[in-house]
Amino acid sequence: MSEHLLSYMTFLPLLGMAILLLIPRENESLLKSFTLIVTLVTFFVSLPLAFNPVFTTDGGMHYTEFAKWITVGDFFQMNYSIGIDGISLWLVMLTTFIMPIAVLSTWQAVEKNVKGFMALLLLLETGMLGAFLSLDLFLFYIFWELMLIPMYFLIGIWGGKNRIYAAVKFFIYTAVGSLLMLVAILFLYYYARQAGVVMEGFSIVQFYQLPIPKEAQLWLFLAFAFSFAIKVPMFPLHTWLPDAHTEAPTAGSVILAAILLKMGTYGFVRFAIPLFPEALATCMPYLATLCVIGIIYGSLVAMVQTDVKKLVAYSSVAHLGFVMLGVFALNLQGLSGGLIQMVNHGISTGALFLIVGFLYERRHTREISEFGGLAKRMPIFTTIFMIITFSSIGLPGTNGFVGEFMALVGAFESNLRWYAVVATSGVILAAVYMLWMFQRVMFGELTNPKNAELKDLSLREIVIMVPLLVFVFWIGIYPNTFFSKMNPALETLIQQINGKQQVSMVQPIEAPRHVEFK
Amino acid sequence: MENLVQAALATVNYASIMPSLILSGFGMLLLLIGVFSKPGRTSHIAWISLIGLIVAAVVSVQAWSALSVTGIEFGFTNQVAQDGFALFFNFIFLISAALTILMSDDYLKREGYAVGEYYALILFTTAGAMWMASATDMMTMFLGLEVLSISLYVLAGFFRRDPRSNEAGLKYFLLGAFSTGFLLYGMALLYGVVGTTNIADLGMYLAAHKVMLSNPMTIAGMLLLLTGFLFKIAIVPFHMWTPDVYEGAPTPITAFMSAGPKAAAIAGLMRFLILGFGSLQDEWTSLFWVLAVLTMTVGNLIALSQTNIKRMLAYSSIAHAGYAMVGIVAANAIGLSGVLYYMLAYAFMNIGAFAVLALAGKQGEENLTLEGFAGFGYKRPFLGVAMCVFLFSLMGLPPTAGFAGKFYVFAGAVEAGYIWLAVIGVLNSALSLYYYLRIMVSMYFREPTEDFAWVSMPLGAMICIILAIAGVIYLGVVPQQVMEMAKTAIF
């Protein structure tokens, strides 16, 4: 079992989708329960990963699987090569954990074409897991693009009023980035071959060790970074995000916020940074500036939103700014803070979108001004909403605090100190926009008569939220469970980055002549 | 004189043209059968023409497997060579023709032109295409081109009561005749320079006499010759005829033209460029660099603003020829075999997309617009999903044939150092996303305005679509085998 555990986990949803397509479309409850079961089984299949102690000691790849896939003479070779380490571990767990929750959240929200919706959710899960696990750049690219298609349809078919615009924008933004990355991948491959490396497919491990001349690094880094920065999204490439979020159905928003955005940050940690550390060093001031702008700008724009969902969407831009700032610190605190903040953002922003979904299902509006005084009608809802709000602000004791604190400490200790100083003001801004929104929605007088009859959370909705709350406190109070497993892998990564910088400082390697730019 | 005839007869080698011979034979047979059939009854003719294609395919497969044993089959005083290159293209032509014929029968009946000669003309076109791919001599090349073109002129104007179809036929004929003139003139000039019509001899002569390379007659000959081919492939700026002809011609013929005959012209072009003008490679790569960029960009840009889906696919077909040119510019093993692969992939995905259009259209096809397609995916789930598969492949998303094809040609460009060309290529793919997405948007994201009750699912068209999907997925997921074939097929 454990030998092919990752493959089972990755393709189980795909298999589920194939079976799902055979279920008649009228039988909606069966379709929903079946999808739920598939995602739950996937989660249970992935559980042994979280309990495996090997991640606490060994920062390398585990559960690796390798098979030759496409070999065309001496042209190239592509392999099915997957594995997991402390960096991808928690993101994979987050994915399998969030999926059942997302499915449960659709129980009443999705009415039209349930079958298509569920099939796309399952396809999406396979795409996401595959992208986190790929150890071959080509394979990664395929899974990366595979995620695009279901998300496009999820937004475009089940989204709100302005869904077509949002779906097309989401698709084109993401595809433009990934196509440029494709050229970079190709270049890297041929560069490696011309440098005399016998490539085992598009193996990342081999690319890590490849010394790349500085000029080429810059271009390649820009191509990768552009693609990932769109996905994160970093300022100024973030404009697709609010559109996509506001228009996407709740489950779509949850997945988008909780997992898909992590693809961008994960891409930086796994590919862009270790492959091109020198180029990163060159671009660092600009990237860090963009992070800080993202934090401040995202917070300020969130503050003036009148739509709760848009507010949460802009808060994502700010939160991911913290993640990226921590990652760019390139020290253990920063990287682990950034990584844990990715998980945190998945949990708390995912939860926020669910909460917005609950409100929307009850009132079919998300305008802040439509609400007010809900606390009196919905005590359970209020409690949960408040905890999640605190987690999103980063109150000590909740997960958000740990992540933001570590990321900022990391940035302080690196040469990004002054950026961190400015970024810290984002924490205050977060408190402003979140608490203000919370106050306007939940407290005060119950003025709008439409809100007088609102029902508190149902059992299903509580069941959805409880697991998220557990992790809010678990990570907030005892984050070591998570850090202990990611740190060895991050130490390996840091060694790799430093080692590579030193090697190329000692002997700059010339590019072979005919890979010059024409 | 007698000796020449004897010499010619002595080198006759029917094996070297067997597939096209079979097709021509079947074509004539079909003409006869057509005469003795009741008017309006053409299904049996369609199926017999398919048998002809299958027989030709079997012969081609045998020839392919015999290739490594017996070597290339030359014939007719070395005017024809059945090499791997020609055979690979044979497969592309046969697949295009078969898919086209499968979707044609019910379409023609719906439009009221159930005429048996249609199928014979497709077989003749295919035979002509085969001669172009296997021609090692300018004369054979010209012969193939003419057979192909004349049949296509008739097919493009096949709906004789429809003004648009007439316009398509006439426009294609007039401009085509012009371009053939250019081609022939170029051939004449080149013959004047080297004194032979054999393409390989031309190449050897130019390689041995470097001084002739700068001779104005050589340059003029080459440019005129290329013009002829570029017209047939519809490379910008020789593309003006394409949208009108593609829009006016019967839908299956549009599908066929964009896959089979286009591939034939690319085959001829490649043989000339690689074997004939190998010593001028530096010159023509810079020329084709520009042409590839122009073709991709212009095709995609104009496609963006189209609302008629048939016309949109016509412009996209121009852009796709541009992607193929990227592989020719690279001119290395992976780029060139990538072109072959791309044309095969394109045959599956484009004909598949047109097959869905052929089914979705009402008589007269006025409804093949983005608005007329609203909600099509809900009303016709299978056809909707099929169309999505083809569109994703045309966009070049993995894991489809279109992605594999683009991957190879761009990989070729990157390996050869044309990074910017590859970048422009992928940016163009990004541009193309928008208009392909528009089709999907209207299929799935808009509420249906019609019930699409007129859409029938005839057996032939279903087979065509299922085969095309299978081809798109197979070439996308396990490209290895076909890519190995393409690799052995190039010179």
For residue B216, give both structure tokens: 């104005």
Work out whether strand B73-75 and strand B80-82 pair parallel, antiparallel, or are unpaired.
antiparallel
pLDDT value of position B368: 84
Residue A155 to residues A236, A315, B451: CA-CA distances in angstroms? 22, 20, 24
pLDDT band, residue A510 (cuts 50/70/90): very low
Picking from B423, B430, B445, the nearest residue to A156 by CB comes out as B445
pLDDT value of position B121: 94
A515 bridge partner residues: none
Q: Does residue A157 belong to the interface with chain B, where contact is any CB pair within 8 Å?
A: yes
Q: What is the distance of C-alpha B275 from the center of its chain?
A: 21
- Assess if residue A57 is contained within a domain: no
Picking from A70, A73, A186, the nearest residue to B414 by CB comes out as A186
A175·B433 Cβ contact <8 A: yes
Q: Does residue A153 belong to the interface with chain B, where contact is any CB pair within 8 Å?
A: yes
- Assess if residue B417 is contained within a domain: yes
Work out whether strand A62-72 and strand A76-84 pair parallel, antiparallel, or are unpaired.
antiparallel
Residues 6 or more apart whose CB falls under 8 angstroms from that of A227 comprise: A177, A178, A180, A181, A267
pLDDT value of position A172: 86
Q: Does residue A146 belong to the interface with chain B, where contact is any CB pair within 8 Å?
A: yes
Q: Does an H or E element contain B74, and which?
A: strand B73-75
Query: Rounded to a whole number, what is the distance in Å from the CA of A77 to chain B's nearest CA?
Result: 10
Query: Rounded to a whole number, what is the distance in Å from the CA of B127 to chain A's nearest CA?
Result: 31
**Residue B99 and residue B464 in contact, taking contact as beta carbons nearer than 8 Å:** yes
Nearest chain B residue to A515 by CA distance is B417
Ranked by mean pLDDT, which of A55-69, A360-374, B458-472 comes out on top? B458-472
- Assess if residue B113 is contained within a domain: no
pLDDT value of position B141: 93
Tell me the chain B residues in contact with residue A149 when contact means C-beta distances shorter than 8 Å: 392, 397
Tell me the chain A residues in contact with residue B429 when contact means C-beta distances shorter than 8 Å: 179
Residue B3 to residues A499, B7, B137: CA-CA distances in angstroms? 78, 6, 21
For residue B364, give both structure tokens: 């007269």
A68 bridge partner residues: A79
Q: Is the pLDDT of residue A274 over 80?
A: yes
Q: Does residue B304 belong to the interface with chain A, where contact is any CB pair within 8 Å?
A: no
A75·B410 Cβ contact <8 A: no
Size of interface A-B (CB pairs under 8 A): 101
Q: Does residue B431 belong to the interface with chain A, where contact is any CB pair within 8 Å?
A: no
Q: Which domain holds residue A483?
A: 282-504
Nearest chain B residue to A194 by CA distance is B415
**Segment A334-360 mean pLDDT:** 89
Q: Choosing among A190, A194, A219, A514, which should be mutated to test the B contact, i.e. which has the most B CBs within 10 A? A: A190
pLDDT band, residue A307 (cuts 50/70/90): confident
pLDDT band, residue A518 (cuts 50/70/90): very low
**Residue A89 and residue A50 in contact, taking contact as beta carbons nearer than 8 Å:** yes
- Assess if residue A321 is contained within a domain: yes
Angle, CA of A91, A96 and A101, to the nearest 5°: 115
Tell me the chain A residues in contact with residue B292 when contact means C-beta distances shorter than 8 Å: none
CA dist., res. B418 & res. A110, Å (int): 48
Angle, CA of B205, B208 and B214, to the nearest 5°: 80
Taking Cα atoms as reference points, which of A294, A75, A272, A66 lies closest to residue A189?
A: A75
**Segment A114-118 mean pLDDT:** 85
Residue B86 to residues A457, B222, B233, B328: CA-CA distances in angstroms? 70, 22, 18, 17
Nearest chain B residue to A185 by CA distance is B411
Mean pLDDT, all residues of chain B: 89
ipTM of the complex: 0.83
Tell me the chain A residues in contact with residue B487 when contact means C-beta distances shorter than 8 Å: 72-73, 75
Tell me the chain B residues in contact with residue A168 when contact means C-beta distances shorter than 8 Å: 434, 437, 441
Picking from B378, B399, B414, the nearest residue to A183 by CB comes out as B414
B410·A186 Cβ contact <8 A: yes
Q: Does residue A145 belong to the interface with chain B, where contact is any CB pair within 8 Å?
A: yes
**Residue B186 and residue B223 in contact, taking contact as beta carbons nearer than 8 Å:** yes
CA atoms within 13 A on the CB side of A231: 29
Least confident residue range of A499-503, B26-30, B123-127: A499-503
- Assess if residue A200 is contained within a domain: no
- Assess if residue B259 is contained within a domain: no
One DSSP character per residue, A16-36 reads HHHHHTTS-TT-HHHHHHHHH
Work out whether strand B73-75 and strand A76-84 pair parallel, antiparallel, or are unpaired.
unpaired
Taking Cα atoms as reference points, which of A243, A250, A449, A442 lies closest to residue A356?
A: A250
Q: Does residue B477 belong to the interface with chain A, where contact is any CB pair within 8 Å?
A: no
Ranked by mean pLDDT, which of A299-308, B5-14, B442-451 comes out on top? A299-308
pLDDT value of position A261: 86
Nearest chain B residue to A513 by CA distance is B417
Residues 6 or more apart whose CB falls under 8 angstroms from that of A280 comprise: A221, A272, A273, A287, A328, A330
Least confident residue range of A126-130, B50-54, B453-457: B453-457
Nearest chain A residue to B486 by CA distance is A72
Mean pLDDT, all residues of chain A: 85
Q: Does residue B167 belong to the interface with chain A, where contact is any CB pair within 8 Å?
A: no
Tell me the chain B residues in contact with residue A73 when contact means C-beta distances shorter than 8 Å: 484, 487
CA dist., res. B246 & res. A304, Å (int): 52
Q: Choosing among B296, B392, B397, which should be mutated to test the A contact, i.e. which has the most A CBs within 10 A? A: B397
**Residue A253 and residue A259 in contact, taking contact as beta carbons nearer than 8 Å:** no
**DSSP symbol at B417:** T
Q: Does an H or E element contain B114, and which?
A: none
- Assess if residue B83 is contained within a domain: no
pLDDT band, residue A332 (cuts 50/70/90): confident
Nearest chain A residue to B432 by CA distance is A172
A516·B480 Cβ contact <8 A: no
Query: Rounded to a whole number, what is the distance in Å from the CA of B334 to chain A's nearest CA?
Result: 7
pLDDT of A10-24, one tens digit each? 999 999 988 888 888
Query: Rounded to a whole number, what is the distance in Å from the CA of A509 to chain B's nearest CA?
Result: 18
pLDDT value of position A502: 58
Q: Is the pLDDT of residue A517 over 60?
A: no
Residue B419 to residues A141, A515, A517, B326, B340: CA-CA distances in angstroms? 19, 9, 6, 11, 21
A142·B398 Cβ contact <8 A: yes
Q: Does residue B474 belong to the interface with chain A, where contact is any CB pair within 8 Å?
A: no
pLDDT value of position B462: 93
Residues 6 or more apart whose CB falls under 8 angstroms from that of A1 comprise: A8
CA dist., res. A474 & res. A399, Å (int): 7
Query: Rounded to a whole number, what is the distance in Å from the CA of A69 to chain B's nearest CA?
Result: 8
| Helix (H/G/I), strand (E/B), else coil: A60 | coil
Q: Does residue A26 belong to the interface with chain B, where contact is any CB pair within 8 Å?
A: no
CA dist., res. B75 & res. B137, Å (int): 11
- Assess if residue A495 is contained within a domain: yes
User: What is the count of structural domains for chain B?
Assistant: 1
Q: Is the pLDDT of residue A512 over 60?
A: no
Q: Does residue A112 belong to the interface with chain B, where contact is any CB pair within 8 Å?
A: no
Tell me the chain B residues in contact with residue A180 when contact means C-beta distances shorter than 8 Å: 423, 426-427
Taking Cα atoms as reference points, which of B222, B58, B54, B80 lies closest to residue B143?
A: B80
Q: Is the pLDDT of residue A140 over 60?
A: yes
Ranked by mean pLDDT, which of A75-84, A414-423, B176-185 comes out on top? B176-185
CA dist., res. A137 & res. A200, Å (int): 11
- Assess if residue A405 is contained within a domain: yes
Q: Which amino acid is at B221?
A: G
pLDDT value of position A103: 87
**In terms of residues, how long is chain A?**
518
Q: Is the pLDDT of residue A513 over 60?
A: no
**Segment B270-278 mean pLDDT:** 90
**Segment B11-16 mean pLDDT:** 81
* 3-state SS track over B149-210: HHHHHHHHCCCCCCHHHHHHHHHHHHHHHHHHHHHHHHHHHHHHHHCCCEHHHHHHHHHHCH
Q: Does residue B423 belong to the interface with chain A, where contact is any CB pair within 8 Å?
A: yes
Tell me the chain A residues in contact with residue B414 when contact means C-beta distances shorter than 8 Å: 183, 186-187, 190
Q: Is the pLDDT of residue A277 over 90?
A: no
B444·A176 Cβ contact <8 A: no
Tell me the chain A residues in contact with residue B331 when contact means C-beta distances shorter than 8 Å: none
Query: Rounded to a whole number, what is the distance in Å from the CA of A25 to chain B's nearest CA?
Result: 12
Above pLDDT 70, what percent of chain B?
99
B483·A176 Cβ contact <8 A: no
Picking from A153, A171, A183, the nearest residue to B444 by CB comes out as A153
pLDDT value of position B53: 94
pLDDT value of position B125: 95
Q: Which domain holds residue B428?
A: 279-491
Q: Is the pLDDT of residue B295 over 90?
A: yes
Question: Where are any strands of DSSP class E within A311-415?
Answer: none
Above pLDDT 90, what percent of chain A?
10
Tally of CB atoms within 10 A around B449: 11
pLDDT value of position B1: 52
pLDDT band, residue A511 (cuts 50/70/90): very low
For residue A284, give both structure tokens: 């660092």
**Segment A333-360 mean pLDDT:** 89
**DSSP symbol at A511:** P
Above pLDDT 70, what percent of chain A?
96
A176·B423 Cβ contact <8 A: no
User: What is the count of structural domains for chain A?
Assistant: 1
**DSSP symbol at A237:** S
Q: B339-366 burial string, b = 16+ CB within 10 Å, else e?
A: bbbbbbbbbbbbbbbbbbbbbbbeeebe
Residues 6 or more apart whose CB falls under 8 angstroms from that of B251 comprise: B107, B310, B354, B357, B358, B361, B365
Picking from B378, B417, B430, the nearest residue to A179 by CB comes out as B430
- Assess if residue A302 is contained within a domain: yes
| Prediction pTM value | 0.88
**Segment A414-437 mean pLDDT:** 87
- Assess if residue A12 is contained within a domain: no
